[in-house]
Amino acid sequence: MEEIKFGTDGIRGTAGEWPIDSLGVLKIGEGLGAFLTTKSGERKVIIGRDTRLSGEILSKAVSSGLLSQGIDVIDVGVITTAGIAYLVSKFSYAAGVVISASHNTWTQNGIKIIGSGGLKFAEREEIQLQSFIQNGPKTSTNETRLGKFEYKPELSESYIDHIISPFKNIPFSSMEAALDCSNGAASYIAPKCYQLLGCNPEVINASPDGKNINLDCGSEDVRAGDSELKQITTSHNLHFGAAFDGDADRVILVDSQGNLLDGDHILLMLAKHYKSKKALKGNVVVTTHMANRGLEKVLSNHGIKTIRTKVGDKYILEEIMKNDYFLGGEQSGHILVFDGKHTTGDGIYTSLLVASLIIRSAKKDYLIQAGNELIKFPQVIASGTVSEKPDMDKMKELTDLKNSIQKDLGPEGIINIRYSGTEPAVRVMLESDNRSSVDQLAVCAAKLCQAVQSHTGDDGKNIEIKDLSTGKSISTKV
């Protein structure tokens, strides 16, 4: 069988196909259990999932693998990724497992591993764990004690109280908000948080049926342009709307006029806020190479430095921890506030932070003003399906095309080509100064996608292109 490998956010694939099938996830559970038996201390693992149809059976499979290695398992059912991270930290569990494919469709699923202290496994730990998974368990069930299984969905209430505790003295009753829960893990938790704080939000897409997670809803739908959340927020003249993804580690916002505010906008708002409180350590924001240079420019105007990493929240977290920084995040809406109480991105908590800023400002147009401050450079992203991921450095045609496009874009132009770490796709991001229009960038991005697809045997037609400033899809012919 094909080796099981970690991507940028755990192990992900099509549900029912190796390794995201019962046998593969059982093997992951066995490997994690064997890995944890080499460590001293607690031997309990907490498991949670989002609302995908495959989640329950995969939860049972990974539990079986862990139990067979003498690891006790606490299953909390449907909960956010940040919820598992918090519970691992609060109860000092050995690890946490989240069964989710984040913003992907219901046919996909995945495994995320949370280590002790509530931090996602570092790359070196993933490599060690991969070895245990590949080599199989070193003990059999008749040579060790079996683990004990408990089902404790009530633990999610502890997480809810944790999220809302910083905001209990803020008058949320004045907040008018809409929440798009993406028919995912936020469906119960997000509305409950707002209600407990005194806000009665408009709630949409909070009726999961196992197949409608992220279906024409949630953070990626809002980023794509017109959405139900935008319509409700503008028609009801609300303060703002917040859209989460399947496991609610991301959030995307719309203001009262329906304008998109992504992770770049949120980072700007939070950076200014924390700097004013003298809490922004080093006056630094950590983001990725996908962030718009408009963010870097406006942060610089406020005396804040931007540090960039590879795409993936784990790389942002590594940079934050290595240098004792405080704030980081991705344009996709994955925000890390590393304040000792939060160890991973939490879309619900981030939305409450922004809501508290709106309330404190007493300005209905707070988000409009914040959005207007960030003037983005023209930027697009193209995604093309690939059946394999060969080394791009060995594609001469791609290199020649990239060099030609770079020459046209000029020294200020940015080209970022990479394979997705969570999907069978190539991503091409282009950014320019105002010498190139969004439509011109879209044509170039499509050509670069096709250059990669020509090496993977794909037809070069299944390409989606988005304007990253507005979130809208772009149609182009190449």
201-253, pLDDT tens digit by residue?
999 999 999 999 999 999 999 998 889 999 999 999 999 999 999 999 999 99
Domain boundary among 241, 261, 281: 261
Let me know if 102 is a catalytic residue. Answer: yes
167 and 255 housed in the same domain: yes
* C-alpha separations of 433 from 10, 39, 379, 430, 476 in Å: 35, 52, 9, 11, 20
pLDDT tens by residue, 115-137: 989 998 888 889 999 999 998 77
Q: Rounded to the nearest 10 degrees, how much is the dihedral formed by the CA atoms of 123, 383, 333, 157?
A: -70
Whether cis (ω within 30° of 0) applies to the bond prior to 19 is: yes
User: Which pLDDT score is estimated for 433?
Assistant: 84
73 and 176 housed in the same domain: no
- Please, what is the average pLDDT of the chain? 93
pLDDT(174) > 80: yes
Lowest mean pLDDT among 49-63, 124-138, 288-302: 124-138
176 and 289 housed in the same domain: no
19 and 146 housed in the same domain: yes
Average pLDDT on 450-477 reads: 84
User: Which pLDDT score is estimated for 343?
Assistant: 92
Lowest mean pLDDT among 43-47, 83-87, 117-121: 117-121
17 and 147 housed in the same domain: yes
User: Which pLDDT score is estimated for 42?
Assistant: 81
pLDDT tens by residue, 388-411: 999 999 999 999 999 999 999 988
User: Which pLDDT score is estimated for 138?
Assistant: 62
121 and 167 housed in the same domain: no
Strands of the sheet containing 72-78, edge to edge, are 11-14, 108-114, 95-99, 44-49, 72-78, 149-151
* CATH code of 310's domain: 3.40.120.10
Q: In which region does residue 218 sit, left (phi positive, over 0), alpha (psi from -120 to 50) or beta (all else)?
A: left
Element (H, E) at 204: strand 202-204
* CATH code of 405's domain: 3.30.310.50
pLDDT(9) > 90: no
Q: Rounded to the nearest 10 degrees, how much is the dihedral formed by the CA atoms of 336, 101, 148, 121?
A: -40
Average pLDDT on 46-54 reads: 98
Strands of the sheet containing 335-337, edge to edge, are 305-309, 284-288, 327-329, 335-337
15 and 95 housed in the same domain: yes
Domain count, the chain: 4
User: Which pLDDT score is estimated for 229?
Assistant: 97
Domain boundary among 295, 324, 343: 343
**Confidence class for position 161, pLDDT limits 50, 70, 90:** very high
User: Which pLDDT score is estimated for 122?
Assistant: 83
pLDDT(139) > 80: no
User: Which pLDDT score is estimated for 262?
Assistant: 96
251 and 272 housed in the same domain: no
User: Which pLDDT score is estimated for 477?
Assistant: 66
Average pLDDT on 450-466 reads: 86
Instruction: Tell me, yes or no, whether 352 lies in a domain.
Output: no
For residue 121, give the nearest of 32, 241, 60 by alpha carbon.
32
pLDDT(478) > 70: no
Three-state SS for 111? strand
228 and 296 housed in the same domain: no
Domain boundary among 316, 343, 370: 343
Average pLDDT on 258-287 reads: 97
Sign of CA dihedral 302, 268, 292, 254: negative
User: Which pLDDT score is estimated for 462?
Assistant: 80
* C-alpha separations of 54 from 58, 263, 269, 451 in Å: 6, 29, 37, 35
Q: Of 54, 102, 351, 432, which residue is the catalytic one?
A: 102
For 444, the domain range is: 379-467
User: Which pLDDT score is estimated for 74?
Assistant: 98
Element (H, E) at 445: helix 438-456
319 and 225 housed in the same domain: no
pLDDT(361) > 60: yes
